[in-house]
Amino acid sequence: MEEMTIKDIAKLCGVGVSTVSRAINNHPDINPETKAMIMNAIEENGYIPNNSARNLKRTEAKSIAVLVKGMSNLFFSTMIKVMEEEIKKKKYTLVLHHVEFNEDEIDVALQLVKEKRLAGIIFLGGYFLHKEKLEKLQVPYVLSTVSGPPDNLDWKDFSSIAVDDEAESFKMVDYLIKLGHKRIAILSAISMDESIGKLRLLGYKRALQENHIPLDESLIAPMRTDMEQYSMSNGYMVTKQLLESNIKFTALYAISDMLAIGACKAILESGKRIPEDYSVAGFDGIELGKYYNPSLTTIKQPVEEMARATVKVLFKVLSDNAEHKHQVVPAELIKGESTRELL
Amino acid sequence: MEEMTIKDIAKLCGVGVSTVSRAINNHPDINPETKAMIMNAIEENGYIPNNSARNLKRTEAKSIAVLVKGMSNLFFSTMIKVMEEEIKKKKYTLVLHHVEFNEDEIDVALQLVKEKRLAGIIFLGGYFLHKEKLEKLQVPYVLSTVSGPPDNLDWKDFSSIAVDDEAESFKMVDYLIKLGHKRIAILSAISMDESIGKLRLLGYKRALQENHIPLDESLIAPMRTDMEQYSMSNGYMVTKQLLESNIKFTALYAISDMLAIGACKAILESGKRIPEDYSVAGFDGIELGKYYNPSLTTIKQPVEEMARATVKVLFKVLSDNAEHKHQVVPAELIKGESTRELL
DNA sequence: TTGTAGGCGTTATCAA
DNA sequence: TTGATAACGCCTACAA
C-alpha cells in the first residue's frame, strides 16, 4: 500500500483530479452524488491530501499563526486556548508555533508566511528590535502582550494589545508603599531588557519617586542570565542570594508570578514567613498564583479579554480592511495572602 | 518587492537554479566562491526558501515530530527541551505539535508525515485506542510516557518508554500506609480511562489489598469530566466536594501533581493544615512540586532520562534498523513536606 | 563545476 | 457539472 495521491482517488472513482479536488475543498459546483462517492472512496482508502502541495499551490490558506516566545509559559496557554476558539469561529485555522528564547521570532514568521500562506500573524511575547525585518512581513500582524515595541517602528503597520506595564507596575509598588513598606526589593529583568522588563522597572522607580522614597540600587535584583528567563528556579536563586546578602527589605516585588513563586520558596526555606516577615507580590495573574500557598498578590492581566481583542483586531484588518489599532487594556490588582500591611 | 524565488536569485547571480539550490543545501560539488556570492545575494535580498516546495520534492526531510497531548502540561515541557537538544545533536529537526484533548493524535500524525516527510514520530502522552489507524503509520514511532498501550497492538511495530505506573503508584500508596494512614482517598482519573489513570488506580488498590485494608469506594474521587483533565482547578473542585461530603480520611493521593496542588488549596482553604490534618501526595515530580508550599511528596518520573531514551531508541530504529524496544524506567519517591507519619 | 528540464501533489483556469 | 492542463517553488538526474 503506497502513499495515495489525488490521482489515485480520481482513477479509482473514474473522475478527473479536479473533481476530487472540488470534493475535498467543498466547492459549490459539484454534483452532491459525485461528491459523496468521492468522499467515500477517500474515507475507505485513507487518503490524506498532501499539505505541502496544497500550500504550494494555494493563493491563501485560511490560517493564522500564533508565535509564542518561550514555551512552558503558563500565562500564554490560556490565551492560546481562547484565540483558538475565536479563530475557529471565523472559519480559520490556528497554526501554533513556539519560539525559543534564543530564536528570532521574525525569522520564524517570515518562513511560516511562505510555507503556510498565512493570512495573518499573532505574536505572543517577545521583543522586536529589528525594524527592517518586520517591514518585510507582508501580512497583517498583531503584537499581543508585547508592550513597548520600539519607537522606531511605524505604528501604522501593525496592531497591538497590551496592558500598560509601566502604569500597572506603578500601581503594585504604590500599593506596597501604601501598605507601609519602604524597603521594597524588585526581582527585575536583565539590564538589557528593552521590553516589559524595562517598563515594569520604570513603574517601580516612579512609584518610589512619587512617594518620596529614595531609590536604593542594592534592592534591584535582576534575573540571572544563565538560567531560563522568568522561571521559578531563576526567581528562587536570585532571592536566595538576596537573602544571604543581608540586604534589608520588607517586601519583594517580582516582575512575574513565576519568579514570585520561586522567590517565595527561597524565603520559606530560609525559615522566614510570608507575609509576616516578607510581603511578596508578583505580576501577570496566572492561575497558579491563586493556588499557591500563600496565594499571590499580583497584577492580573485580563488574558481572555486580551486574547479576544487580539483576534478581533486582526480580523478587522483582514476582512474589513480597517486601520491598525493599538489598544491598552486595564489590569487588576489582586490582593492575595502574600502581602500584609506593615504597622 | 514581490516574493523572491530561487529563480530570482539565480537570475540575479547570473547562475542556474541548481547552483543556487546547491548553495542552499550545502552540496559539496560547488565552487566556494560561487557559493559565497550566492549566499551573499540571498542574504541581501532576504530570500527565504519555500518550505512547502521543499517538502513536496524531498524524499525525506531530516525531521522528527513530537506530538504532545494536552498542552500547558508542565510535565512535558522539560522533556521536550531535552528531546530538542538530543535531536539537534543528530542533525535532525524537531517539529513540535500540540494535540488537544479532543483531537485524535494519530490523525494528526498521519497528516504530518505526509506534509513534512517525517523520519519518525514521538508521541508524548495520549491514549491510542485505534489499532487500525496506527498501522497506517509507516514511519517508526515511539510512545513516550504512554504506559499501557492497548494489548491488541502489535508490539513489534513501535517502541515505548514509560515508568511502571501501576508499580510506582503502588509504591506511593504503600508508603502512605507505612506512615500509618489507613483511610487514603485517591483523586483518580475518569472511569473510562484506559491508560495511566487506570494503572495508577490499580496500584492504589493493590497496595490496600496487600496491606489488608479494605477498599472503600467512597474514597475514590474521580476527576470531573466537565473540566480540563489533570488540571489544578479540577483537583481543587473535586477535593472541595470531598471535604464537604464529610467522608473521613487522613491522606489524599492525587494521581498527578497538578491535581495535588489543586487539592492542597482546597484543604488549606477549608482551614485544615497539610500535613498536620491531611497528608497529600502527588505523582509525576514536576518542578512546581518542589516550589509549592508545602513541597509535594510525589513520584518523580525521570524526565530527562526518559526524553533521552526516547530519542535514542528512535534513532536506533532509524539508523541502525534495530528492533523496536519497550523500556520501563524506574521512578523515585520524593518525600516532601506534604505528608507526615500518623502516630 | 555548472545549467537544463522534468516532476513532486495540489489547485486554478479554461474549455467542454 | 466536469476534465485536461498549466502553474506553484523547489530538488535532482542528466547532460554539458
Measured between alpha carbons, how far is A285 from A331 in angstroms, rounded to an integer? 9
- Strand pairing report for A141-144 and A120-124: parallel
pLDDT given for residue A1 in this prediction: 46
Domain membership flag for residue A337 = no
In this structure, the answer to whether residues B95 and B35 fall within a common structural domain is no
> By a Cβ cutoff of 8 Å, what residues of chain B touch chain A?
3, 46, 48-53, 55-56, 71-72, 74, 77-78, 80, 96, 98, 110-111, 114-116, 136, 232-233, 236, 261-262, 264-265, 268, 287-288, 290-294
In this structure, the answer to whether residues B266 and B217 fall within a common structural domain is yes
CA of B295 to C1' of C11 (A): 57
In this structure, the answer to whether residues B293 and B310 fall within a common structural domain is no
Domain that holds residue B121: 63-163+303-330
- Copy the grid coordinates of residue A175: 500599593
Asked if A59 CB < 7 A from strand C, the reply is yes
In this structure, the answer to whether residues A292 and A321 fall within a common structural domain is no
Domain membership flag for residue B206 = yes
Measured between alpha carbons, how far is A134 from A159 in angstroms, rounded to an integer? 13
Domain membership flag for residue A57 = no
In this structure, the answer to whether residues A82 and A201 fall within a common structural domain is no
In this structure, the answer to whether residues A178 and A280 fall within a common structural domain is yes
Q: Which residues of B touch A232 (CB under 8 A)?
A: 287-288, 291
Q: Which residue is nearest to nucleotide C7 (CA to C1')?
A: B57
pLDDT given for residue B153 in this prediction: 63
Measured between alpha carbons, how far is A21 from A39 in angstroms, rounded to an integer? 11
Q: What is the pLDDT of residues A149-187, one digit of tens each?
A: 556 566 778 899 999 999 999 999 999 999 999 999 999
In this structure, the answer to whether residues A108 and A180 fall within a common structural domain is no
Measured between alpha carbons, how far is B13 from B48 in angstroms, rounded to an integer? 16
Smallest CA–CA distance, residue A215 to chain B, in Å, is 30
Mean pLDDT confidence for A206-226? 97
Domain membership flag for residue B130 = yes
Strands (E), A213-313: 220-222, 251-254, 279-281, 298-300
Smallest CA–CA distance, residue A96 to chain B, in Å, is 8
Domain membership flag for residue A87 = yes
Q: Which residues of B touch A87 (CB under 8 A)?
A: none
Number of structural domains chain A divides into: 3
In this structure, the answer to whether residues A16 and A119 fall within a common structural domain is no
Q: The CATH number of the domain where B175 resides is what?
A: 3.40.50.2300
Asked if B17 CB < 7 A from strand C, the reply is yes
DSSP-derived 3-state class of residue B163 = strand
Q: Report the interhelical angle of B32-45 vs B6-13 (nearest 10°).
A: 120
Asked if B25 CB < 7 A from strand C, the reply is no
How big is the A-B interface in CB pairs under 8 Å?
93
In this structure, the answer to whether residues B171 and B271 fall within a common structural domain is yes
Residue type, A154: D
Domain membership flag for residue B129 = yes
CA of B211 to C1' of C9 (A): 62
Report, in ranges, which bases of strand C sit under 7 Å from a protein C-beta: 1-5, 7-13
Q: Are B173 and B253 in contact (CB under 8 A)?
A: yes
In this structure, the answer to whether residues A154 and A169 fall within a common structural domain is no
- pLDDT tens digits, chain B, 343 residues: what are they? 467 899 999 988 889 899 999 999 888 888 888 899 989 889 888 899 999 999 988 877 789 999 988 655 678 888 998 999 999 999 898 998 888 777 888 889 999 998 998 999 999 987 666 666 778 888 999 999 876 555 656 677 889 999 999 999 999 999 999 999 999 999 999 888 778 899 999 999 999 999 999 999 999 999 999 998 889 999 999 999 999 999 999 999 999 999 999 999 999 999 999 999 999 999 999 999 999 999 999 999 999 999 999 999 999 999 888 999 999 999 999 999 999 999 8
Q: What is the pLDDT of residues A233-255, one digit of tens each?
A: 999 999 999 999 999 999 999 99
- Closest by alpha carbon to A92, among A303, A322, A311? A311
- Compare CB distances from B71 to A77, A116, A236 and report the shortest one's residue: A77
Q: What is the pLDDT of residues A89-111, one digit of tens each?
A: 998 999 988 887 778 888 899 98
pLDDT given for residue B4 in this prediction: 87
Q: What is the pLDDT of residues A119-147, one digit of tens each?
A: 999 999 876 666 667 788 889 999 998 76
Tell the burial category of A214 from Cβ atoms under 10 Å away from its Cβ (0-12, 13-18, 19+): exposed
In this structure, the answer to whether residues A173 and A282 fall within a common structural domain is yes
pLDDT at A86 over 90: yes
Query: Whose grid coordinates read 518610589?
Result: A208
Q: The CATH number of the domain where A29 resides is what?
A: 1.10.260.40
In this structure, the answer to whether residues A294 and A197 fall within a common structural domain is yes
Element (H, E) at A177: helix A165-178
Smallest CA–CA distance, residue B334 to chain A, in Å, is 17
Domain membership flag for residue B338 = no
**CB atoms inside a 10 Å sphere around CB A28:** 5
Q: Are A223 and A190 in contact (CB under 8 A)?
A: yes
Q: Which nucleotide is nearest, taking the CA of residue A35 and each C1'?
A: D1
- Strand pairing report for B93-99 and A332-334: unpaired
Q: What is the pLDDT of residues A18-60, one digit of tens each?
A: 999 999 988 888 898 999 999 999 998 889 999 999 999 887 7
Domain membership flag for residue A308 = yes
